[in-house]
């Protein structure tokens, strides 16, 4: 049994009389501890897929099985409880936190809601989480507005691993970061995966990033899944025009050999 | 504390705060500043102001002390104004939060009710309400709140709609936070500042409405209010205009104070946002 099994997922948006298929008939699977890169141009439906998966927006049709639950049928308290196992890291490093929050309160919320550790041990757990993502424990008292973009994304990752999930959806998680920080965050993600066996659905438009971390890559175009296969195969021998266009869009310097090895796992 | 400092940095805020603080103190210490019932007959009638040191602002047709009336009238004006604003904001927040969150049919239904209240002139509504039920302070407060809750409701709803689509609210849902906790802890504190800035304007409007109701004789007859004093003075407006002018000045100063405070509050909040 796969960790995640998406079958025939579809979703339409209608605005101003125009009816757009954001997702049509998308099926894919993900095994425990695996990274699936989800590539596609803007508007290809990859973020819609991520948001349906996280139950942030409803699907029109299709099924999702996650950890052997009929994921789209869950609701209320049962859904909130199971959410611990599927977490998300957002693209917007500014908008993903309540502007009034402190680093400690951001990490305290998931620990409290899912009763991961007893109340008395929460500060210790928060310190451990911060250290795990490469931040000093003294950051806990800072306001979220006082930390830099790269550090915020580390905190977002700490929040995502706080509930001990088996799948993390990374929605353009490194796109907003400086190139020098990007590599370090990707290394951290790979380390966490090897250590805890977390599966990643890594959504990005940047094939250079996906190639560095993905076991398999899926390519989307206009709401359809047009290609899926091993990362090296999709990049070196793309069959769909969408994949070829994405490869052509990667700057030469990044696809060049010396740089690539830096990201390779 | 920092917010109050920001407020005091703007000149509007400082002046408004000064005026209102003074009025609050006057209202609080009214029985000490001017002991006894302000409605009792204290001296000879129609004494001109600034003549007798015992009655600095003179007396009215029945020989009641005008200064005592103004001091005690501060209580009524502030109590009614603030209580009505609190009631209006409380109703508005609840309705706006519910409409913004629930969406769909609930939102539609609630906003049509808001429309209905916004269409009816709030003063007419208060007038009708008090005429039917009878004049007493709680009824006047309720009547004013009924005409004032629609604006904060609309504003709260708009704020909730803009905040509930933010990523940090999605993040709160992803970690499994209960919707009530999201509304209360994640959205409300961030949506509140503009609604609070609006509240000062509601206080000013409520004070004016209360004065207008009293002027028309629809205030509580057992307590002294600035509106009823102006109405009293109207009968002798040509011979003793000061009877209407002094409570009128008190009213103007209060409303200006509230407006300045609101202006300063808006500036202080805007400053905080641009600094964030």
A83:B174 CB<8 A: yes
B176:A80 CB<8 A: yes
Q: Give A100-153 as a DSSP string.
A: T-BHHHHHHHHHHHTT-S-GGGHHHHHHHHHHHTT--GGGGGSBGGGS-HHHHH
pLDDT of residue B184: 85
Interface test with B, best of A78, A96, A201 (most B CBs within 10 A): A96
A100:B189 CB<8 A: yes
Angstroms from B159 CA to nearest CA on chain A: 15
Angstroms from B177 CA to nearest CA on chain A: 7
List of chain A residues whose C-beta atoms are within 8 Å of the C-beta of residue B275: none
List of chain B residues whose C-beta atoms are within 8 Å of the C-beta of residue A145: 276
A163:B189 CB<8 A: no
Provide the 8-state DSSP code for B36. S
Spans of chain A, pLDDT less than 70: 252-265
What region does B135 belong to: left with phi over 0, alpha with psi -120 to 50, or beta? beta
Residue in B177, B190, B276 nearest the CB of A109: B177
* Chain B CA closest to residue A76: B178
pLDDT of residue B275: 44
Environment class of A29 (CB within 10 Å of its CB; exposed 0-12, middle 13-18, buried 19+): middle
Q: Does B109 touch chain A (CB under 8 A)?
A: no
What ipTM did this prediction achieve?
0.87
B178:A80 CB<8 A: yes
Residue in B167, B168, B175 nearest the CB of A113: B175
Query: Measured between alpha carbons, how far is B144 from B84 in angstroms, rounded to an integer?
Result: 6
Angstroms from A24 CA to nearest CA on chain B: 24
Angstroms from A102 CA to nearest CA on chain B: 13
Q: Can you name the residues that pair with B91 across neighbouring β-strands?
A: none
List of chain B residues whose C-beta atoms are within 8 Å of the C-beta of residue A83: 173-176
pTM: 0.76
Q: How many structural domains is chain B composed of?
A: 1
List of chain A residues whose C-beta atoms are within 8 Å of the C-beta of residue B176: 79-81, 83-84, 110, 113-114, 163
Range of the domain at B140: 2-275
A113:B174 CB<8 A: no
List of chain A residues whose C-beta atoms are within 8 Å of the C-beta of residue B182: none
Give yes or no for a contact between B34 and B186, defined as CB atoms under 8 angstroms apart.
Answer: no
B176:A81 CB<8 A: yes
Q: Does B172 touch chain A (CB under 8 A)?
A: yes
pLDDT of residue B274: 47
pLDDT of residue B272: 55
Angstroms from B175 CA to nearest CA on chain A: 6
pLDDT of residue B276: 42
A95:B175 CB<8 A: no
A110:B175 CB<8 A: yes
Residue in B168, B175, B189 nearest the CB of A83: B175
pLDDT of residue B261: 87
Q: Does B167 touch chain A (CB under 8 A)?
A: yes
Domain ranges of chain A: 4-22+36-47+55-263
Q: Can you name the residues that pair with B105 across neighbouring β-strands?
A: none
CATH architecture of A4-22+36-47+55-263: 3-Layer(aba) Sandwich (3.40)
pLDDT of residue A265: 45
> What residues of chain A have any CB closer than 8 angstroms to a CB in chain B?
51, 54-56, 79-81, 83-84, 86-88, 90-92, 95-100, 109-110, 113-114, 145, 156, 159, 162-163
Residue in A79, A92, A99 nearest the CB of B190: A99
Name B133's Cβ contacts closer than 8 Å, sequence gap at least 6. B139, B143
Q: Does B173 touch chain A (CB under 8 A)?
A: yes
pLDDT of residue A111: 96
CATH code (residue B221): 1.10.3720.10
pLDDT of residue A250: 76
Question: How would you label B20-39 residue by residue, b for 16+ Cβ within 10 Å and e otherwise?
Answer: beebeebbeebeeebeeebb
Query: Per residue in B41-73, pLDDT tens?
Result: 888 888 888 888 888 898 998 899 999 999 999
Per-residue pLDDT of chain B (276 residues; tens, 9 = 90+): 566 777 788 888 899 999 999 999 999 999 998 888 888 888 888 888 888 888 889 899 889 999 999 999 999 889 998 999 999 999 999 999 889 988 889 999 999 999 999 999 989 999 999 999 988 889 999 999 999 999 999 999 999 999 888 899 999 999 999 988 998 888 888 888 888 878 888 988 999 999 999 999 888 888 899 999 999 898 899 999 999 999 999 999 999 998 898 888 877 776 555 444
């Amino acid at each position: 049994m796969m960790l995640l099994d998406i079958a025939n997922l579809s979703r339409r948006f209608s605005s101003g009389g125009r009816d757009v298929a954001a997702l049509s008939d998308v099926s894919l699977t993900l095994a425990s501890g695996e990274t699936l890169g989800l590539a596609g141009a803007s508007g290809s439906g990859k973020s819609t897929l991520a948001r349906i998966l996280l139950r942030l927006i409803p699907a029109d049709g299709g099924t999702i099985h996650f950890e052997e639950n009929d994921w789209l049928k869950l609701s209320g308290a049962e859904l909130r409880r199971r959410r611990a196992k599927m977490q998300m890291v957002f693209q917007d490093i500014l908008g993903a936190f309540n502007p009034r929050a402190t680093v400690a309160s951001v990490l305290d919320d998931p620990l409290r809601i899912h009763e991961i550790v007893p109340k008395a041990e929460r500060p210790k757990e928060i310190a451990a989480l911060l250290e795990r993502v490469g931040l000093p424990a003294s950051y806990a008292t800072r306001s979220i507005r006082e930390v830099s973009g790269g550090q915020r994304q580390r905190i977002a990752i700490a929040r995502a691993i706080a509930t001990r999930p088996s799948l993390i959806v990374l929605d353009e998680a490194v796109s907003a970061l400086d190139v020098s920080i990007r590599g370090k965050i990707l290394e951290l993600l790979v380390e966490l995966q090897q250590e805890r066996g977390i599966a990643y659905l890594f959504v990005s438009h940047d094939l250079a990033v996906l190639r560095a971390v993905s076991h398999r890559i899926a390519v989307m175009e206009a709401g359809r899944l047009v290609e899926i296969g091993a990362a090296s195969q999709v990049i070196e021998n793309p069959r769909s025009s969408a994949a070829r266009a994405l490869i052509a869009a990667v700057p030469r310097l990044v696809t060049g050999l010396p740089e690539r090895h830096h990201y390779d796992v | 504390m920092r917010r109050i400092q920001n407020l005091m940095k703007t000149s509007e805020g400082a002046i408004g705060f000064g005026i209102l603080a003074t009025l609050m103190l006057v209202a609080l210490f009214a029985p000490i500043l001017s002991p006894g019932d302000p409605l009792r007959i204290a001296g000879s009638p129609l004494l001109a102001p600034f003549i007798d040191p015992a009655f600095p602002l003179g007396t009215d047709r029945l020989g009641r002390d005008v200064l005592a009336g103004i001091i005690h009238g501060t209580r009524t004006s502030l109590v009614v104004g603030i209580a009505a604003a609190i009631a209006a904001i409380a109703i508005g927040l609840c309705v706006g939060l519910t409409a913004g969150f629930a969406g769909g049919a609930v939102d539609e239904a609630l906003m049509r009710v808001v429309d209905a209240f916004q269409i009816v002139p709030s003063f007419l509504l208060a007038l009708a309400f008090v005429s039917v039920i009878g004049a007493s302070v709680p009824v006047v407060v309720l009547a004013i709140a009924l005409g004032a809750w629609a604006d904060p409701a609309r504003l709260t709803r708009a704020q909730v709609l803009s905040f509930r689509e933010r990523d940090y609210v999605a993040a709160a849902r992803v970690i499994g936070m209960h919707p009530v906790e999201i509304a209360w802890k994640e959205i409300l504190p961030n949506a509140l500042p503009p609604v609070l800035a609006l509240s000062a304007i509601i206080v000013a409007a409520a004070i004016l409405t209360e004065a207008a109701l009293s002027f028309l004789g629809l205030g509580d007859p057992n307590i002294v209010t600035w509106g009823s004093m102006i109405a009293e003075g109207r009968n002798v407006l040509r011979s003793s205009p000061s009877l209407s002018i002094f409570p009128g000045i008190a009213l103007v100063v209060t409303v200006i104070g509230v407006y300045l405070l609101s202006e300063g509050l808006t500036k202080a909040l805007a400053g905080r946002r641009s600094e964030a």
